[in-house]
Amino acid sequence: MMRVYVDINRCIGCRSCEVACKRVHGGKGHVNVHISEDRASVPLFCHHCEEAACTMACYSGALTKDGERTSFSLDKCTGCGLCRLACPFGVVWTDKLAHKCDLCAPNETPTCVLTCPAQALSNDYELALKRARARAGRATILGGKR
């Protein structure tokens, strides 16, 4: 299961991903949109890191690596808060117990990807790669100018 890729060029800062994630996770959303200098917005959520600091800090076995995904089992969580402090990106939340992006498993496509009005979120690696290349290409052609 791929993680969710963000195309910051496309993000319009509407926060639909936040509201949708919260809605499908019983009121506990794990996306946060940060606005940068009133010029861009970035939705932030679990990167499903290869070397996941949160799994290293977790002593109860609630957070583990399951292939590419950083997996979380609610029933093992004690709510200690170590994972929240261990995440370098601040994208593990605790509200009594921990919660973070679970890629909306077992659904094929995460809710945020489906709902994003601007199609800024994608779990399609090939698409993310294609977009990155296109941006680089355009930047080269325009000589760094818009």
Partner 1 sequence: MIQVDANKCLGCFACSNICPNQFITREEEEGKRRTIRWSKCKEECDICVEFCPAKALTLIPYSDSTPEVIEVSFDLVPCEVCKKGFATEPLLKRIRETVPSNLQTDSTGRSWVEICPFCRRELEAEMASKQVVQSRRK
Partner 2 sequence: MSKSLVSTICPYCAAGCGFYVAVEKGRATGIEYMLEHPANEGSLCPKGNAALEVVYSEDRLLYPMKRNGNEWSRISWDEALKLVSKGLGRTIKNSGPDFAGFLSSSKCTNEENYLIQKLARSLGSRNVDNCARLCHAPSVVGLNRTLGAAGMTNPIPDLANSKCIFVIGSNLAENHAILSRWIHRAKDRGAQVIVADPRLTHTAWLADLFLQLKPGTDVALLNAMMKVIIDEDLVDKAFISKSTKGFEDLVKAVKDYTPEKAAEITGVPAKDIVKVARMYAKSPASAILYSMGITQHTTGTDNVQSVANLALITGQIGKEGTGVLPLRGHNNVQGACDMGALAEFYPGYRKSDDPETAKFFGQTWDTISLPVGRGLTATEMIDAACNGELKAMYIVGEDPANSDPWSSHVKDCLENLDFLVVQDIFMTATAQLADVVLPAASWAEKEGTYTSTERRVQWSNRALEPPGEAKSDLEIVCMVAKSMGLNFDYPDAASVLAEINRLVPTYKGITRERLGIGGLIWPCPSTDHPGTPILHSAGFKLQDGRALIAPVQYKPAAEDTGTEYPLILTTGRIAVHFNAGSMTRRSPSLMERAPNLFVEINPEDAAPLRINDGDSVEVTTERGTTTALARVTDSVKQGVVFMPFHYPGTNFLTTDARDAEAKIPEFKVAACNIVRRD
| Binding positions for partner 1, rule: CB under 8 A | 6, 8-9, 32, 34-37, 39-42, 44, 51, 53, 56-57, 59-60, 78-82, 84-92, 94, 96-97, 146
Task: Indicate whether 38 belongs to the interface with partner 2 (CB under 8 A).
Answer: yes
146 counts as binding partner 2 under rule CB under 8 A = yes
- At its nearest, how many Å lie between partner 2 and the CB of residue 110? 12
Q: Which is nearer to partner 2, 96 or 146 (CB)?
A: 146
As to burial, measured by CB atoms within 10 angstroms (0-12 exposed, 13-18 middle, 19+ buried), residue 121 is buried
49: CB partners within 8 A, 6+ apart: 70
Tell me the C-alpha distance between 66 and 18, whole Å.
25
d(Cα 8, Cα 18) in Å, to the nearest integer?
Answer: 16
Cβ 128 vs Cβ 7: under 8 Å: yes
Segment contacting partner 2 by CB under 8 A, of 18-26, 62-70, 75-83, 87-95: 18-26
Residues 85 and 117: their CA atoms lie apart, in Å, by 32
Partner whose binding site includes residue 85, from partner 1, partner 2, none (CB under 5 to 8 Å by kind): partner 1
- What residues make contact with partner 2 under the rule CB under 8 A? 10, 12-16, 18-20, 22-24, 38-41, 114-119, 134, 146
